[in-house]
Amino acid sequence: MYSLLCSQLKELIESCPVPVSAMANASSLLYYTLPDLNWAGFYLLSGDTLLLGPFQGRVACTKISMGRGVCGTAAQTRSIQRVLNVHEFPGHIACDSRSNSEIVIPLIREGTLYGVLDLDSPLFSRFSEEDQEGLQAFCDVLMTSLDWSRGLMG
Ligand code: SME
């Protein structure tokens, strides 16, 4: 599943390496390929705030401070947050009341943090270690293949 997702993402990026376009398609690819998701998308770092980026799912909060919620924690610690039950995560930000588990992967390239990829599920314990590895590989493709030299709009 994830090797197919990674090769589809590579093809999409080859045809258009502009970050905002690739992230829009990446969120769609994940949302419509992986089962049991209610949200898939990006928060992008602007100063020390995460701003809502391309996503699929219901309307979400637009600004998350560093260290706040699952996304802010992943960004601040630069480590993947795989949360089996969001209701037990201190400070979890409930954008969509249907979410019960969540995984957030920091987007890092050459030591610079660009934002996070966030996936939410209505199922508890939706994301396994295998999902974590696959999503990290997916983000690695994104961070190494995109042309970030001219910013988000390319
Ligand atoms: N639940 C996240 C907020 C973003 S939404 O899930 C789209 C958090 O606690 O950071």
pLDDT digits (tens, 9 = 90+) for 76-107: 999 999 999 999 999 999 988 899 999 999 99
Q: Does ligand 1 come within 6 angstroms of the Cβ of 152? A: no
What is the Å distance from ligand 1's center to 98 Cα? 12
Domains contained in the chain, number: 1
Region of poorest pLDDT, from 12-21, 40-49, 121-130? 12-21
Q: What is the DSSP string of 8-77?
A: HHHHHHHH---HHHHHHHHHHHHHHHSSS-SEEEEEEEETTEEEEEEEEES---SEEETTSHHHHHHHHH
Q: Does ligand 1 come within 6 angstroms of the Cβ of 70? A: yes
Query: Which residues, 6+ apart, have CB-to-CB distance to 13 below 8 Å?
Result: 22, 141, 142, 145, 146
Cα(82)–Cα(131) distance, integer angstroms: 10
What is the per-residue pLDDT for 150? 76
Q: What is the CATH number of the domain that holds 85?
A: 3.30.450.40
On the 0-12 / 13-18 / 19+ scale of CB atoms within 10 A, 87 is exposed
What is the per-residue pLDDT for 54? 98
On the 0-12 / 13-18 / 19+ scale of CB atoms within 10 A, 43 is buried
Ligand 1, atom 5: closest residue by C-alpha: 95
Record the tokens describing residue 14, joined without a space.
Answer: 């080859």
Cβ proximity of 117 and 104 under 8 Å: yes
On the 0-12 / 13-18 / 19+ scale of CB atoms within 10 A, 116 is buried
Give the range of the structural domain holding residue 51, as residue numbers without chain letter: 2-150
For the chain, give the number of residues: 154
* pTM of this structure: 0.97
What is the Å distance from ligand 1's center to 15 Cα? 31
| Ligand 1 atom closest to 43 (CA) | 4
Q: Does ligand 1 come within 6 angstroms of the Cβ of 60? A: yes
Average pLDDT over residues 34-52: 97
Q: Does ligand 1 come within 6 angstroms of the Cβ of 92? A: yes
